[in-house]
Amino acid sequence: MMRRSQRLKGVQQVAQRKEDQAADQFGVANRLLNDRQVKLVELQGYLVEYQQDLVTRGGRGVTAQQLRQLQRFLAQIEQAIVQQKQLVQAAETQRERQRKVWLEARAKREAMDRVIANALEQENFEVMRQEQKESDERGQRRREGVGFE
């Protein structure tokens, strides 16, 4: 007959796989968020760079057409920044969702570990109890076999 702790090992393995998968997905979400944040910082850097370029060129004189082109380009960068901020926010939300899934999976696996540890403890207690009972019975038979005359 299979012990309870042995039967629970399969459930524990499933819980471990789910935790591992959730941790992997959390890692993917973290990397995506990081990538999007880096892209946002790059765009913000480009905006500052081109704004400074506009000031520098403006000091040297630019045509109205060049000024309009630079302003349109700056507006495009600003729009890209707005969109990238939305992507960062979505990635933050996804990462938080994945973090919760991972924490729940970890908690379930840890609970299963405790159940198995308790089952093992109970099984060991039962084995020791059985051994003690058998030892007591052997001792009793010896005393009965020796006899008192």
Contact 125, 3 (CB under 8 A): no
Average pLDDT over residues 58-68: 81
Residue 146 pLDDT: 59
Q: How many CB atoms lie within 10 A of CB 141?
A: 10
Residue 143 pLDDT: 78
Question: What separation in angstroms does the CA of 133 have from each of 3, 93, 127, 136, 138?
Answer: 20, 60, 10, 5, 9
* Domains: count for the chain: 1
- pLDDT over threshold 70, residue 147: no
Residue 77's contacts (CB-CB under 8 Å, 6 or more residues apart) are: 43, 46, 47, 50
Average pLDDT over residues 82-110: 98
- pLDDT over threshold 80, residue 20: yes
Residue 2 pLDDT: 78
Q: Is residue 148 part of a domain?
A: no
Q: Is residue 131 part of a domain?
A: yes
Report the CATH number that the domain containing residue 104 is assigned in CATH: 1.10.287.1700
* Residue ranges making up the domain that contains 66: 9-141
